Structure 1
Amino acid sequence: MSGMDPSAVPGPTVVDRRRLVFGVLPAAALLAAGCGRSNDDRSDGGRSARPPLALVYNGPQGCPACPETVAALLRGAPRPYRVEYVGGETPLTAAALADARLYVQPGGGADLKGTWRHLEGSAGAIRNWVREGGGFLGLCFGAYLAGRNPGFDLLPGDTNGYIDSPGATVTDGRDTVVPVNWQGRPRHMYFQDGPAFFLDPGADATVLATYPNKTAAVVVAPYGKGRVGVSGPHPEADASWYADKDLSNPDGVHFDLAYELIEATAGRR
């Protein structure tokens, strides 16, 4: 989400929701940052039962490597998924969603309104699919899109940039590592201008993690028979993301938080 030289691998780019909506963007915020790359497709290892299907959006968004990073995470999960991409060559339709258990809207975007123009025609299909038992996972930019104005409107509340929230410990769009309280455990996560979540009073939702100023950083909420999981920070960030930005995670680079979020979000179809 910050600038890079032309030889760098493109990566996650997310900017403040209000600046995106009104088109007031610094030029550097339109450039991509480093993302990890996926491994080749893996088979189901000869298991008799096929792993469940996850769909990952890879349409216009500004980060060609981000969908592959999520796909590698899903294929390597303790309960692995088969992964197919939608939104690019394969349209995101009700038919495409029919057999999936999980849909992932990854991070990496720079233009919320522009991406929404591409996704808006699929919004009804997404809402209906989640309502009937699907799981929607939104990561950083994808979590902004789970909210409203513009977005899928899947949350019992809305999103806004953490950097604009009162008492935020990060106040600009740089790539960094942010401390969070994950269900009573102090942890650290890769962060670049991701959202905080502002839930309606009495909302039926589970806050898995909070930022240092107590705003919600990771949330899972029901939507009909399905579930919506959203994360402002990047639980999927691999070692290459940290290395590219000369960052380190005090906890080490682990995917346990990502897997916990996936398990909490996975649909019941």
Structure 2
Amino acid sequence: MTATPRILVYEDYVHNNAQLHRALRDAYGPFAVTTCDAGDLHTGILNKSVNLFIMPGGADLYNCEKLNGAGNKIIRHYVEDGGAYLGLCAGAYYASRDIKWAEGVEDQAIIGLRELNFFPGTAVGPVMDFIEDRDVTKSWNHAAQIEWLDDMGPMPATVHYNGGPVFIGADDEPGTKILARYTSLPGSPAAIIECGVGKGHAILCSPHLEHGATTLSRTLYNHANPSFNRRWKIIDTLIKGELSRKMVWDRMMKRALTPQKTSIAA
């Protein structure tokens, strides 16, 4: 990894990822981060000079609309050739073999295959236990408990959940390493995973580790917000666990920016 990494963040013009940009600039400086869209990918912006490609949160159907076909081939070639992919929430769904969003919920379900297929399993969400009244039409925000599990040792953390998946099949897939689990859910399902992809690797992260409690509180509004009190309680919980969240974010980013040298063991 270079002293100042080159990080490329995909921009779909639909979602606001200002908190992600702030977290990256705070960590690596103002010149480390560049954005790109589907058109930029076709002109060759995603090349070996890029240390990390980030597909941020939002809704993955917008990614499908713009990138299915040629765009996804460019992303996959970059990773297979030694690049690194970080998928956050929607970006994690998008890089799985298939997605099951709100399965069985009328007018909400999104089910289907995805082209990147970095994780050869199913991304299932939202986690009903985390969303308001278990109703996908209400707030998906939650202060979730995870445990980070890399070689530096386990670390519990309180993190912001906002609709991300659990990864079905991650425990049995030899090319996949579980980096964190949701400890507050039955069976502690995988919350963050790493997949070997050719010479490169992909990290798929269900929670929004980039969302600090302070920056998240700036998004809170009261006017016509039926979940205002609930969301404020969630932010208050996140404030108390901010140090652990930041440490896990730093560990994940360090791992994402470290070139893959050996195959990933489960």
Q: Per-residue displacement from partner, 1:93-135 (whole Å, max 9, x unpaired)?
A: 37211120100001123xx333311121310011111001111
Distance in 2, Cα, partners of 1:150 & 1:123: 10
Relative distance call for 1:266 and 1:93 in structure 2 (3 A) is: farther
Contact 2:4 2:32 in 1 (8 A): yes
Match of 2:66 in 1: 118
Deviation at 1:169, TM superposition (A): 5.2
Structure 1: give runs of 5+ residues left out of the alignment: 1-48
Distance in 2, Cα, partners of 1:150 & 1:128: 16
Match of 2:180 in 1: 209
Q: Per-residue displacement from partner, 1:244-269 (whole Å, max 9, x unpaired)?
A: 13122131265222221111122539
Structure 2: give runs of 5+ residues left out of the alignment: 98-112, 221-230, 261-266
SS of the aligned residue for 1:92 comes to: helix
Pick aligned residue for 1:241 from 211, 216, 220: 216
**1:197 is the counterpart of 2:167:** yes
Pick aligned residue for 2:26 from 73, 76, 86: 76
Relative distance call for 1:147 and 1:232 in structure 2 (3 A) is: same
Deviation at 1:59, TM superposition (A): 1.7
Relative distance call for 1:71 and 1:93 in structure 2 (3 A) is: farther
Relative distance call for 1:80 and 1:217 in structure 2 (3 A) is: farther
Higher mean alpha-carbon deviation, 248-257 vs 231-240, is at 248-257
Relative distance call for 1:263 and 1:114 in structure 2 (3 A) is: same
Relative distance call for 1:258 and 1:93 in structure 2 (3 A) is: farther
Higher mean alpha-carbon deviation, 246-255 vs 143-152, is at 246-255
Contact 1:103 1:137 in 2 (8 A): yes
Relative distance call for 1:50 and 1:215 in structure 2 (3 A) is: closer
Contact 2:9 2:33 in 1 (8 A): yes
**1:141 is the counterpart of 2:116:** no
Match of 2:201 in 1: 227
Amino acid at match of 1:181: E
Amino acid at match of 2:181: T
**1:58 is the counterpart of 2:11:** yes
Relative distance call for 1:256 and 1:123 in structure 2 (3 A) is: same
Deviation at 1:162, TM superposition (A): 4.6
Q: Per-residue displacement from partner, 1:153-206 (whole Å, max 9, x unpaired)?
A: 111323111525xxx455444211111122233211101111111235242222
Match of 1:156 in 2: 120
Identity level (%): 24
Distance in 2, Cα, partners of 1:76 & 1:207: 27
Distance in 2, Cα, partners of 1:172 & 1:187: 25
| Paired residue total | 212
Pick aligned residue for 2:146 from 140, 163, 180: 180
SS of the aligned residue for 1:74 comes to: helix
TM-score (norm. length: structure 1)? 0.70
TM-score (norm. length: structure 2)? 0.71
Higher mean alpha-carbon deviation, 75-84 vs 228-237, is at 75-84
Match of 2:101 in 1: none
Pick aligned residue for 1:108 from 41, 58, 69: 58
Distance in 2, Cα, partners of 1:119 & 1:138: 15
